[in-house]
Amino acid sequence: MELRLLSETDTTKELSFKEVMKLEARNVNLYYGEKHALKNISMGIEANTVTAFIGPSGCGKSTFLRCFNRMNDLIDHVRITGDILIDGRNVYKSKIDVDEHRKKIGMVFQKPNPFPKSIYENVVYGLKINGVRDKHILDETVERSLKQAALWEEVKDDLKKSALSLSGGQQQRLCIARAMAVEPSVILMDEPASALDPISTSKIEDLIYELKSKYTIVIVTHNMQQAARISDKTAFFYLGELIEYNQTVTMFTNPHKEQTQNYITGRFG
């Protein structure tokens, strides 16, 4: 397995003060009841990049990811302080409609969770709840999304088949297609390949690389090689804190913090 060294082939933009980050966190703290799960996290993510969140289990990376689309609202006794901004708008403070907000951000979960409906119905779900009924638009969207997710060729002959009859890897690509059908600008992925076999994993990694040009992607992963393969920047979390956040190449060849070094070389985690 080769490490794709991204910095040689991609241009990483220099950040100027005037540029607005696509996603930004400022002094974010999160509490599960008494437990202080996220400690003062601040970071910015540029548009059209792939950012990887890495760290040992329980370090808060998934929790932080879910802050961006306010999925933590679904859990009782969660309290968040600080700011989360998307396209410069504060996601928690301004009067935004949570449901509308979530439509702009796609999420792919660790275990594939297609609805027990047909492949077609899964992909158009996001559109239907928005009141889109036009069959042309729906058909078009299904084809486009499934092609983007590299699943079209495999399922195009029978879109009415139940989504549950697909393999794990196919189901996960279906979930990606479903997320993309509503054309979000950001896609959040919470360990999308951890439940899949190596071949499916590799297909999904290729997919992420392809999608980068159109979407901003944040991916939580346990797999450091994966992070090194596909991300532009990597953030290392430990015990609820953001320890280091840098270009992926730098993180893996010359980390600044000792903890990062220890994690990457496998001393713990």
Partner 1 sequence: MSSSQKNKLKNLIFKGFAIACTSVGLIVLVVLLYVVFSQGLSRIDFDFLNNLPSRNAERAGIYTALLGMVWVLVLTVLISFPIGMGAGIYLQEYGKKNFFNNFIEVNISNLAGVPSIIYGILGLELFGRLLGLGNSILAGSLTLSLLILPLIIVSTREAIKAVPPSLREASYGLGATKWQTVWHVVLPSAFGGIMTGLILAISRAIGETAPLIVVGALVYVPFVPESPMDEFTVLPIQIFNWVTRPQAGFVTNAAAAIIILLTFTFMMNGIAVIIRNRYNKRTKF
The SS3 of residue 135 is helix
Smallest gap from Cβ 138 to partner 1, in A, equals: 15
Smallest gap from Cβ 115 to partner 1, in A, equals: 6
Helix 168-181 to helix 135-148 angle (10° resolution) is: 130
Smallest gap from Cβ 116 to partner 1, in A, equals: 6
Which of residues 39 and 117 has its CB atom nearest to partner 1 in the complex? 117
The residues that touch partner 1, with contacts defined as CB under 8 A, are 69, 71, 74, 76, 99-104, 106-107, 109, 111, 113-117, 125-126, 128-130, 175, 178-179, 182
Which of residues 168 and 269 has its CB atom nearest to partner 1 in the complex? 168
Which of residues 106 and 240 has its CB atom nearest to partner 1 in the complex? 106
Smallest gap from Cβ 103 to partner 1, in A, equals: 3
The alpha carbon torsion through 141, 143, 149, 150 (nearest 10 deg) reads -170
Smallest gap from Cβ 88 to partner 1, in A, equals: 20
The alpha carbon torsion through 189, 190, 195, 196 (nearest 10 deg) reads 20
Which of residues 195 and 239 has its CB atom nearest to partner 1 in the complex? 195
Q: Are 237 and 64 in contact (CB under 8 A)?
A: yes
Which of residues 114 and 169 has its CB atom nearest to partner 1 in the complex? 114
| CA separation for the pair 41, 212 (Å, rounded) | 25
In angstroms, what CA-CA distances link 218 with 26, 74, 89, 131, 190? 17, 21, 18, 29, 8
